[in-house]
């Protein structure tokens, strides 16, 4: 059997009891390590933290392994119980859907154990989840690649009065272009997009458009390390959020649409300059 187990958003303790029971019965345990990360990161120390609680060795599954060598995981699952651990919820990334489809085509029994993900944890700010439109991803710009396909989706959401969740780029174990040209992979240092960078890129794209759907005065909500003990949630304009140091990753951003009075009441607790922000900053430091 192949267990796809959501780990939640904070640390190793956020796994559900059902998920923990499944992991403990498995012969092999993999953890996906490129679409998200737990609060302590995925290092040798982080893996040992997981292994101590779960009682099993944990194999790091990077993008290359999951997308190009999934047969190793599936082969093991044909003859034994295998757990594939995912930060957040198992279906927060399309890669995991692909793994499930491939397993089912091979006749492997798949059991999914859900957990919290960024898609519902953003509800902490008070913006109601059913008032969100299509989620977008903001990739890192390069000198030669500055995609703006997310702009039309934000425009569509805002025309409907809906909020937009922006997931920010994570680049872990990405081969450099130079190394690919040489035919021998060398990997760039890990990079995690900040809210500040995301807003800078969003405003750059907006300036090149004829019909502006947002600007530096547009209300947004910034989230850092959501689900963790030191999470930060701040509501303010794009310009205001750009001046805030949100600290360590992971970050995400919500561009607000039309708001209900109850949503406004909740957002007021997180406005820039509010006392609760200072308290969160003190705890995070």
Shared-domain flag, residues 112 and 130: no
Q: Do 153 and 99 share a structural domain? A: no
Annotated ligand binding at 165? The verdict is no
Q: Residues 258, 133: one domain?
A: yes
| Residue 136 belongs to some domain of the structure | yes
Q: Which domain holds residue 147?
A: 119-269
pLDDT tops 80 at residue 184: no
Q: pLDDT at position 45, please?
A: 56
pLDDT at 132 over 90: yes
Give the chain's domain count: 2
Is 117 annotated for ligand binding?
yes
Residue 12 sits in the same domain as residue 86: yes
pLDDT at 271 over 60: yes
Q: Are residues 124 and 265 in the same domain?
A: yes
Residues 148 and 253 both lie in one domain: yes
274: in domain: no
On the question of pLDDT at 43 being above 80, the answer is no
- The rounded distance, in Å, linking the Cα atoms of 142 and 146 is 6
Q: How confident is the model at residue 80 (pLDDT cuts 50, 70, 90)?
A: very high
Which of 61, 81, 116 represents a domain boundary (last residue)? Answer: 116
- pLDDT on residue 60: 85
Question: What is the structure's pLDDT at 279?
Answer: 43
The annotation status of 230 as a binding-site residue, yes or no, is: no
Average the pLDDT over each of 107-111, 157-161, 280-284 and give the range with the smallest value. 280-284
Residue 277 lies in a domain: no
70-96: b or e for each residue (b if 16 or more CB lie within 10 Å)? bebbbebbeeebbbbbbbbbbbbbeeb
| Mean pLDDT estimate for the chain | 88
Please give the average per-residue pLDDT across 137-148, as a whole number.
Answer: 92
Query: What's the CATH code of the domain at 110?
Result: 3.40.1010.10
In the prediction, which pLDDT does 34 show? 67
Specify whether 56 is located in the same domain as 135.
Answer: no
Say if residue 111 is in the same domain as residue 127. Answer: no
State whether 181 and 249 are in the same domain.
yes
Confidence of residue 46 (pLDDT cuts 50, 70, 90): low
Q: Is residue 57 predicted with pLDDT exceeding 60?
A: yes
Clarify whether residues 108 and 136 are in a common domain.
no
Residue 118 marked ligand-binding: yes
In which band, very low, low, confident or very high, does the pLDDT at 211 lie, cut at 50, 70 and 90? confident
Q: What is the pTM of this model?
A: 0.87
- Asked whether residue 166 carries a pLDDT value surpassing 70, the answer given is yes
Asked whether residue 282 is domain-assigned, the answer is no
What percent of the chain clears pLDDT 70, i.e. is strictly above it? 86
- Considering the domain architecture, whether residues 142 and 264 belong to the same structural domain is answered as yes
* 57, part of any domain: yes
The response to whether 163 counts as a known ligand-binding position is no
- Mean pLDDT over 104-119 rounds to 95
For residue 69, what pLDDT is reported?
76
- Asked if residue 174 and residue 107 are part of one domain, the reply reads no
Residue 284 pLDDT grade (very low, low, confident, very high; cuts 50, 70, 90)? very low
Cis before 250? omega within 30: yes
Check whether 92 is labelled as a binding-site residue.
yes
Which distant-in-sequence residues (6+ apart) come within 8 Å of 123 by Cβ?
A: 129
């Amino acid at each position: 059997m192949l267990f796809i187990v959501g780990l939640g958003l904070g640390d190793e303790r956020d796994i559900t009891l059902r998920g923990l029971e499944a992991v403990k019965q498995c012969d092999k345990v993999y953890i996906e390590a490129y679409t998200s990360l737990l609060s302590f990161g995925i290092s040798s120390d982080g893996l040992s933290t997981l292994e101590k609680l779960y009682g099993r060795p944990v194999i790091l599954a990077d993008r290359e392994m999951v997308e190009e060598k999934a047969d190793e995981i599936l082969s093991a699952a044909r003859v034994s119980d295998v757990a594939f651990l995912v930060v957040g919820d198992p279906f927060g990334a399309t890669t995991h859907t692909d793994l499930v489809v491939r397993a089912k085509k091979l006749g492997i029994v798949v059991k999914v154990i859900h957990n919290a993900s960024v898609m519902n944890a953003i509800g902490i700010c008070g913006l109601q989840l059913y008032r969100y439109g299509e989620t977008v991803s903001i990739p890192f710009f390069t000198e030669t690649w500055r995609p703006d396909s997310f702009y039309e989706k934000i425009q569509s959401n805002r025309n409907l009065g809906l909020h937009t969740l922006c997931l920010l780029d994570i680049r872990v174990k990405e081969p450099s272009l130079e190394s690919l040209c040489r035919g021998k992979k060398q990997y760039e240092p890990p990079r995690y997009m900040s809210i500040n960078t995301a807003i800078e890129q969003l405003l750059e794209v907006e300036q090149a458009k004829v019909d502006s759907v947002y600007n530096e005065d547009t209300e947004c909500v910034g989230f850092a390390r959501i689900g963790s003990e030191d999470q930060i949630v701040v509501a303010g304009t794009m310009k205001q959020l750009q001046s805030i140091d949100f600290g360590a990753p992971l970050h995400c951003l919500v561009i607000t649409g039309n708001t209900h009075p109850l949503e406004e009441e909740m957002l007021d607790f997180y406005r820039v300059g509010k006392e609760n922000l200072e308290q969160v900053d003190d705890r995070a430091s």
